[in-house]
Chain A
Amino acid sequence: MMTSLMTQARLLQKYSKCFRDIPQHYVRNVTRTLATHSTTYKALVSKSTNIHKNLAFEQYLYSTIDFHHTNLLFLWRNDPCVVIGRHQNPWVECNIGFLQEHNIALARRHSGGGTVYHDNGNLNCTFFTARNGYNRKRNLNLLVEAITKSWDIDLTVNERDDIILDGLYKISGTAAKLDKTKGYHHCTLLFNVQADTLQEALSATHIGCKSKATASFPARIANLADADNTITYEALIASVAEQFLAQNRENQVYSAEWVDPGSIEGCKDINKIQEDLQKWEWVFGKTPPFHIHRQFRKDFKGYSSHVQIHLDIKAEIVCGLVEKIQINMKGFDSKNIEEFIRVLHQECIGLQFRKHTLEYKLNELLNTSHMYDADMEIGNWIMSCILDNVQ
């Protein structure tokens, strides 16, 4: 076995002819870096505020850079959006209808953890390290140190790896992704976010859902700017970057670099990842399988008298597609409606659990069902009940 890194590096040089794809200067860099044998700390700030682009860039950095001797801090913020964890269920975690009405994007990230709302008052920090350098508490303590050095506020890190303001309010959420050789830990930092919009966006209206998806842990939040209104985005990134880069040795002077992910070398790869992240199959389709079970009740004026109809809807959604849907109706006998429901059971299988897809299909079924008057009214009501679940 090799006894020293230097010897290894020399051998690498010698055999680099075999590794045809390594350009010679990389080999030289390897030996030089190995020789100095210390970690460099670098910081990047993203110029983009598009959540998908930033997530794609984060993924690109993670997959292309080697972190054995580099620790990278990536700072970014986004226009209003909601980001769910890798194994979460968007229908349960946020109010999808509200998001669509207000043009708030929805994204699914690669790391685990819970759902967060981002807007330009929220700073995201991603700490990229080698696998053995992964330490969430250290990163969070660095952030707390950076902030409390410049502003006199009370911040602590709790056992769930949240940063807590004044002992009560959560101002940061954490998630991480680990690999064999490297890992990243990213966290949010609420400094001036729209709390009302956050509240509305994250209040799920969906009831009757049962799944094994990771559930979010709701918490009371506050903004750093509430504690000290001189905390701005620029001041915050300056503080954090300075604290992080101070870990470099004295003869290595680095400052944070601003990067535009849309125009750097490798932006094609980044765009490709961004496209993948925006696909419905990723955002909604990656939801773990879940069941919906809801009941509805309504009074109808039938031909002769009042009728109360009970509707029991059960659905199983796997990979965002309707695997099975079952509707039971009680309180009104009608052959037409039974037929309609039977056809519905068949036709909805395999459809995306998506409002316009289901709406289109159900409208089609209603129009071809030859139902009239009372039956049609009930049919419309059934459709609205089903669509109520999708939002």
Chain B
Amino acid sequence: MAAKISKNLLAKIRTFTHIRAYSSAVTEVGKFNERKNVQKVPSPLKVKQRTHHLHSRAFHASLVSQGKIVPFKLSDIGEGIREVHVKEWFVKEGDTVSQFDSLCEVQSDKASVTITSRYDGKVKKLYYEIDDLALVGDPLVDIETDEDSPSSSTDTPTYDPPEEGEMTISSTDHSMQMVKGHKVLATPAVRRLAMENKIRLSEVSGTGKDGRVLKEDILRFMQGEDTPKETPAVQPSAPPQPAVPSTAPTPSAAKPPPPLKRPAPVVLGKDKTEPLKGVRKAMVKTMTIANAIPHFGYCDEIDMTALVNLRDSLRKMAAERGINFSYMPVILKAASLALGQYPTLNAHVDDKCENITYKASHNIGLAMDTPDGLMVPNIKNVQALSIFEVASELTRLVDLGTKGKLGPSDLTGGTFSISNIGSIGGTYASPVLLPPEVAIGAIGKIQTLPRFDAGNVAKAHIMQVSWSADHRVIDGATMCRYSNLWKSYLENPASMILDLK
């Protein structure tokens, strides 16, 4: 029965090809005889066997003998892709293929595309090997076609790269008018009315179901009341919403505005994210560990007037020896002297805080702001150095710091730390311990402030200090007494002589 279907009907039926796929049981056109051998689910390993069905085709009136050799070009994949890699061939030269059989698989970037044959016939030549680069528009295979097979089916799609936010429908041979790719729906009577009045349906906004153009719409258009047609689904300005292929919105179905719509922010600068590296990364690590330690703070102010008065004479002496005088070496030495009386503050604890090691040498660290970031080099054995030696060592470290050349021996082994934030500015601070140390101090800048001196207001040079200590091992009283001792050395420099070693 199947063989008696006329050629004309066959050609007409071929146009239904895009409808027929609704039932998975429908065989492809041209395979009526093989209804029973339907392959419902193409499995990955069996594609090559598909060509076997074809010998028993009694469908064509003439046998395939000397057909035309047609080069089958690689059609546009879309998305502006110009070349693809051929990854697998499903046919070889000499195989017979029918329309829609898979020829090969190509890969473009991330998309794996199966190329199917457009013609019936015999594969004469493969233009590419596996892994070759195939260019769009160039021939992929040569197929020797039968005389009466269609040279191109009606639904050869032209894959235009989809515009942003819009769906394009493949060009078919319909002479229907399109509105941005959607066919205008109208009954034949309405169409005739439009045609008589020389109105283009695409210009009329439809108010019927599915955006259908009704007679009233035409009449209204003719009376000039029609508003310019809204373009339904294209919003290229907003962040691309998925394209809704519905036709012009009907007045009744006014959609409520989306609840969380934010106005596009005006961005002046641009966010910049970068990973933390080097010193900053180390700082993250140290500070995270330090955060687990319970700190307590203790602050006080020191009257530096005596030292300030001594400065001039001390500076002269230092200059003779080629060193710049500053208060820092005196402060450090005073700290070391006081540590001699309170060795608990010059100690290390282990991470679980199970053991405390009283350190013999006073390696006092000085927090420094270097071009690389915060670094705390320490001066070793301050207890054994004179103020002068401390000063020269300090100069050396500052030099290295500014050059960014502080070595590991300078940076490790500290037992006590002082941060001179006052050199930049500020008064009180809240320093964070440098594990495994147990105490740290931050000194502010020396300000000239009014203070009472035996009932009269006098000018005093005041410097603030803020101590932080590990409350697991240090108590407030210890810190307070230490601070008082250190303060007394600085307020009365001569008293340092008593504890000199």
Contact = CB atoms under 8 A, between A and B. Distances in A.
Nearest to B79: A136
B27 A21 contact: yes
A132 B159 contact: yes
A269 interface: yes
Contacts of A11: 12, 16
B146 to A, nearest CB: 20
Contacts of A167: 271, 273
A38 B15 contact: no
Given A9-B19, A30-B19, A269-B41, A22 B112 contact: no
Interface string B56-84: 00000000000000000000011100000
B116 A179 contact: yes
The size bracket of the interface on B is 35 or more
Q: Is the interface of B mostly helix, strand, loop or mixed?
A: loop
B18 A3 contact: no
A112 B111 contact: yes
B185 A145 contact: no
B473 to A, nearest CB: 36
Given A4-B176, A37-B183, A178-B113, A22 B25 contact: yes
Contacts of B44: 110, 273, 276-277, 282
A178 B5 contact: no
A297 interface: no
Contacts of B157: 131-132
Given A21-B25, A37-B183, A212-B131, A64 B40 contact: yes
B436 to A, nearest CB: 29
B45 interface: yes
A112 B271 contact: no
Nearest to A248: B244
A175 B107 CA distance: 10
A145 B242 CA distance: 10
B22 interface: yes
A178 B159 CA distance: 12
B154 interface: yes
B242 A142 contact: yes
A203 interface: no
B273 A166 contact: yes
Contact of A276 (B12, B25, B43): B43
A220 to B, nearest CB: 9
Contacts, number: 186
Nearest to A109: B112
B92 interface: no
A174 B110 contact: yes
Interface stretch (B167-175, B338-346, B369-377, B396-404): B167-175
Interface residues of A, number: 79
Given A86-B112, A137-B240, A269-B40, A38 B246 contact: yes
Nearest to B255: A250
Contacts of A136: 79, 110-111
Nearest to A114: B110
Contacts of A269: 40-41
B240 A138 contact: yes
B314 interface: no
B455 interface: no
Contacts of B244: 247, 249
Interface stretch (A12-20, A117-125, A193-201, A366-374): A12-20
B42 A20 contact: no
A60 B110 contact: no
Contact of B18 (A68, A85, A161, A174): A68
A180 B100 contact: yes
B306 interface: no
Contact of B110 (A21, A175, A272): A175
A339 interface: no
Given A132-B157, A134-B78, A167-B271, A4 B25 contact: no
B24 to A, nearest CB: 5
A149 to B, nearest CB: 6
Nearest to A127: B242
Contacts of B317: none
Contacts of A214: 107
Contacts of A21: 23, 25-27, 35, 38
Interface in B4-58: 5, 9, 12-13, 15-16, 18-27, 35, 38, 40-45
Contact of A12 (B19, B45, B162): B19
Contacts of B18: 68, 181
Interface in B80-111: 87-88, 100, 105, 107-111
B276 interface: no
Contact of A23 (B23, B164, B253): B23
A328 B9 CA distance: 69
A145 B173 CA distance: 37
B240 A141 contact: yes
18 contacts: A22-B23, A26-B22, A38-B210, A85-B112, A86-B105, A112-B112, A132-B159, A132-B167, A132-B169, A138-B162, A138-B242, A138-B243, A167-B273, A179-B113, A250-B253, A273-B44, A281-B45, A282-B45
- Nearest 6 CB-CB pairs, A to B? A112-B112, A176-B111, A178-B113, A113-B110, A21-B25, A112-B107
Interface of B: 5, 9, 12-13, 15-16, 18-27, 35, 38, 40-45, 77-79, 87-88, 100, 105, 107-114, 116, 130-131, 154, 157, 159, 162, 164-165, 167-170, 173-176, 183, 185, 210, 239-246, 253, 255, 260, 271, 273, 275
Given A181-B18, A288-B130, 17 more contacts: A3-B174, A8-B15, A34-B19, A38-B210, A63-B41, A64-B24, A111-B111, A132-B157, A132-B170, A138-B165, A142-B242, A174-B110, A177-B114, A178-B112, A273-B41, A282-B44, A282-B45
Interface of A: 1-5, 8-9, 11-12, 15, 18-23, 26, 29-30, 34, 36-39, 59-60, 63-64, 66, 68, 85-87, 110-114, 131-138, 141-142, 145, 149, 154, 161, 166-168, 174-181, 183, 185, 212, 214, 244, 247, 249-250, 269, 272-273, 276-277, 281-282, 288
